[in-house]
Amino acid sequence: MTPGMSDLFDFDLRKDRYAVMGNPIAHSKSPRIHTLFAQQTGQSLEYTAILVDHGGFSQAVGNFDASGGKGLNITVPFKEEAWRLVTQRSERAELAGAVNTIKFDGKTMYGDNTDGVGLVNDLTHNHQIELRGKRILVMGAGGAARGVIAPLLHQQPAALVIANRTVDKALVLASLFKRLGKIEGVGYEHLAGQQFEVIINATAASLQGEVPPLPDDVLAKNAVCYDMMYGARPTSFMQWAKAHAAAQVYDGLGMLVEQAAEAFFIWRGVRPQSRSIITSLREELITPATK
Ligand code: ATR
List the domains of the chain with CATH numbers: 5-113 (3.40.50.10860), 116-253 (3.40.50.720)
> Any residues with CB less than 8 A from the CB of 60 and at least 6 apart, and which?
21, 50, 52, 53
Q: Which ligand 1 atom sits nearest the alpha carbon of residue 144?
A: 4
Residue with the smallest CA separation from ligand 1 atom 18 is 166
pLDDT band at 12 (very low <50, low <70, confident <90, very high): low
Probe target for ligand 1 pocket from 78, 161, 165, 169, with the most ligand atoms within 8 Å of CB: 165
Measured between alpha carbons, how far is residue 54 from residues 45, 49, 101, 215, 271 in Å?
28, 16, 19, 39, 33
Q: Which ligand 1 atom sits nearest the alpha carbon of residue 79?
A: 2
What local confidence, expressed as pLDDT, does residue 254 receive? 98
- The answer on pLDDT for 160 being more than 50 is yes
How far does the centroid of ligand 1 lie from the alpha carbon of residue 146, in Å? 12
Residue with the smallest CA separation from ligand 1 atom 5 is 142
Q: Which ligand 1 atom sits nearest the alpha carbon of residue 169?
A: 18
What local confidence, expressed as pLDDT, does residue 14 receive? 78
Query: pTM for this structure?
Result: 0.94
* Rounded average pLDDT over 220-244: 97
Kind of pairing, strands 109-112 and 101-104?
antiparallel
> Any residues with CB less than 8 A from the CB of 237 and at least 6 apart, and which?
201, 205, 206, 211, 212, 225, 227, 229
**Would you please indicate which residues are annotated as catalytic (active-site) residues?**
79
Q: Cβ(212) to ligand 1 under 6 A?
A: yes
Whole-number Å distance between alpha carbons of 285 and 291: 15
Phi, psi of 186 (to 5 degrees): -145, 170
Residue 166's nearest CA partner among 145, 135, 196, 193 is: 145
- The answer on pLDDT for 1 being more than 90 is no
What local confidence, expressed as pLDDT, does residue 291 receive? 46
pLDDT tens digits, one per residue of 96-137: 999 999 999 989 999 999 999 999 999 999 999 999 999 999
Residue with the smallest CA separation from ligand 1 atom 29 is 212
pLDDT band at 199 (very low <50, low <70, confident <90, very high): very high
Q: Cβ(218) to ligand 1 under 6 A?
A: no
